[in-house]
Structure 1
Amino acid sequence: MNKWKQTSLGEFIDFNPPETILKGKMSRKIPMDKLGVFQRKINGSEYSEYSAGPKFRNGDTLVAKITPCLENGKTAFVDILDENEIAFGSSEFIVLRENEHSDKKFIYYLARSPLFREKAISCMEGTSGRKRVNEGALKRQEILVPVIPTQQKIASVLSALDDKIELNNKINAELEAMAKMLYNYWFVQFDFPSAEGKPYKSSGGEMVYDEVLKREIPKGWEMKSLLDIANFINGLACQKYRPLDEDFLPVIKIREMNDGISANTEKVKRDIHAKYIINDGDVLFSWSASLDVKIWSGGIGGLNQHIFKVTSSKYPKSYYYFELLNYLQHFKMMAELRKTTMGHITQEHLRDSKITVPGLEVINKLDDILNPIFEKILINKKQNQELASLRDWLLPMLMNGQVTVKDAFERVERELGMVAEGDVKYGE
Structure 2
Amino acid sequence: MTNAVHRRLGDLLNLKRGYDLPENQRRSGPYPVISSAGITGFHDEYMVDGQGVVTGRYGTLGEMYYVNGKYWPHNTALYVATFKDNDPKYIYYLLSCLGRIRTSDKSAVPGVNRNELHEMAVPAITDKDQQKKIAAVLTALDAKIDCNNRINAELEAMAKTLYEYWFVQFDFPDGNGKPYKSSGGKMVYNAMLKREIPEGWEDGSLWGIARYFNGLAMQKYRPIYSDYLPVIKIKEMGEGLSASTEKARPDIPQDAIVDDGDVLFSWSATLDVKIWSQGKGALNQHIFKVTSNKYPKTFYYFELLRYLTHFKMMAEKRKTTMGHITHDHLKQSRICIPPIELIDIAHERIAPIFKKHLMNAKDNQQLAQLRDWLLPLLMNGQVTVV
Q: Same fold (TM over 0.5)?
A: yes
Partner of 1:86: 71
Which of 41, 48, 65 is equivalent to 2:57?
65
Q: Secondary structure at the match of 1:297?
A: coil
Q: Secondary structure at the match of 1:101?
A: coil
Instruction: Summarize the Cα distance change of 1:21–1:185 in structure 2 as closer, same or farther, 3 Å threshold.
Output: closer
Instruction: Establish whether residue 236 from structure 1 lines up as the match of residue 225 from structure 2.
Output: no
Deviation per CA, 1:367-421: give whole Å up to 9, x if none: 1110000000000000001111111111110111101113xxxxxxxxxxxxxxx
TM-score normalized by structure 1? 0.82
Per the TM alignment, residue 267 of structure 1 is displaced from its structure 2 partner at its CA by 1.1
Q: How does 1:269-280 map to 2 (within 5 A)?
A: 269-280=249-260
Q: Secondary structure at the match of 1:16?
A: strand
Letter in 1 for 2:55: V
Q: Secondary structure at the match of 2:51?
A: coil
Partner of 1:349: 329
Per the TM alignment, residue 16 of structure 1 is displaced from its structure 2 partner at its CA by 1.8
Partner of 1:415: none
Which of 87, 91, 115 is equivalent to 1:107?
91
CA distance in structure 1 between the partners assigned to 2:89 and 2:64 by the alignment: 13
Q: What is the CA RMSD across the aligned residues, in angstroms? A: 2.6
CA distance in structure 2 between the partners assigned to 1:341 and 1:145 by the alignment: 46
Partner of 1:46: 41
Partner of 1:199: 179
Which of 102, 106, 112 is equivalent to 1:133?
112
Q: 8 Å contact 2:277–2:362 — kept in the other structure? A: yes
Per the TM alignment, residue 32 of structure 1 is displaced from its structure 2 partner at its CA by 3.3
Q: 8 Å contact 2:265–2:273 — kept in the other structure? A: yes
Point out where structure 1 has 5 or more consecutive residues left out of the alignment.
36-43, 125-131, 407-428
Instruction: Summarize the Cα distance change of 1:139–1:228 in structure 2 as closer, same or farther, 3 Å threshold.
Output: same
Per the TM alignment, residue 269 of structure 1 is displaced from its structure 2 partner at its CA by 1.4
Q: Secondary structure at the match of 2:278?
A: coil
CA distance in structure 2 between the partners assigned to 1:105 and 1:188 by the alignment: 46
Per the TM alignment, residue 165 of structure 1 is displaced from its structure 2 partner at its CA by 0.3
Deviation per CA, 1:337-368: give whole Å up to 9, x if none: 12349431111000000100000111111111
CA distance in structure 2 between the partners assigned to 1:197 and 1:372 by the alignment: 21
CA distance in structure 2 between the partners assigned to 1:4 and 1:341 by the alignment: 48
Per the TM alignment, residue 14 of structure 1 is displaced from its structure 2 partner at its CA by 2.5
Q: Secondary structure at the match of 1:191?
A: coil
Partner of 1:419: none
Partner of 1:285: 265
Q: How does 1:289-300 map to 2 (within 5 A)?
A: 289-300=269-280
CA distance in structure 2 between the partners assigned to 1:77 and 1:121 by the alignment: 26
Q: 8 Å contact 2:2–2:125 — kept in the other structure? A: no
Per the TM alignment, residue 3 of structure 1 is displaced from its structure 2 partner at its CA by 7.2
Letter in 2 for 1:232: Y
CA distance in structure 2 between the partners assigned to 1:388 and 1:169 by the alignment: 12
Instruction: Summarize the Cα distance change of 1:118–1:337 in structure 2 as closer, same or farther, 3 Å threshold.
Output: farther
Q: Which moved more, 1:201-210 or 1:397-406?
A: 397-406
Per the TM alignment, residue 98 of structure 1 is displaced from its structure 2 partner at its CA by 5.0
Letter in 2 for 1:45: T
CA distance in structure 2 between the partners assigned to 1:116 and 1:275 by the alignment: 35
Which of 373, 378, 383 is equivalent to 2:358?
378
Q: Secondary structure at the match of 2:10?
A: helix
Per the TM alignment, residue 30 of structure 1 is displaced from its structure 2 partner at its CA by 3.1
Q: Secondary structure at the match of 1:86?
A: strand
Q: 8 Å contact 2:57–2:78 — kept in the other structure? A: yes
Per the TM alignment, residue 15 of structure 1 is displaced from its structure 2 partner at its CA by 1.3
Partner of 1:321: 301
Q: 8 Å contact 2:18–2:76 — kept in the other structure? A: no
Per the TM alignment, residue 321 of structure 1 is displaced from its structure 2 partner at its CA by 0.4
Q: 8 Å contact 1:60–1:98 — kept in the other structure? A: no
Query: % of aligned pairs identical?
Result: 51
Instruction: Summarize the Cα distance change of 1:123–1:258 in structure 2 as closer, same or farther, 3 Å threshold.
Output: closer
Instruction: Summarize the Cα distance change of 1:342–1:105 in structure 2 as closer, same or farther, 3 Å threshold.
Output: closer
Instruction: Establish whether residue 399 from structure 1 lines up as the match of residue 374 from structure 2.
Output: no
Q: Which moved more, 1:99-108 or 1:284-293?
A: 99-108
Per the TM alignment, residue 86 of structure 1 is displaced from its structure 2 partner at its CA by 3.1
Letter in 1 for 2:73: F
Instruction: Establish whether residue 30 from structure 1 lines up as the match of residue 34 from structure 2.
Output: yes
CA distance in structure 1 between the partners assigned to 2:346 and 2:321 by the alignment: 39
Per the TM alignment, residue 18 of structure 1 is displaced from its structure 2 partner at its CA by 8.2
Instruction: Summarize the Cα distance change of 1:177–1:385 in structure 2 as closer, same or farther, 3 Å threshold.
Output: same
Partner of 1:129: none
Instruction: Establish whether residue 359 from structure 1 lines up as the match of residue 339 from structure 2.
Output: yes
Q: 8 Å contact 2:19–2:73 — kept in the other structure? A: no
Per the TM alignment, residue 78 of structure 1 is displaced from its structure 2 partner at its CA by 1.9
TM-score normalized by structure 2? 0.91
Q: Secondary structure at the match of 2:197?
A: strand
Per the TM alignment, residue 97 of structure 1 is displaced from its structure 2 partner at its CA by 4.5
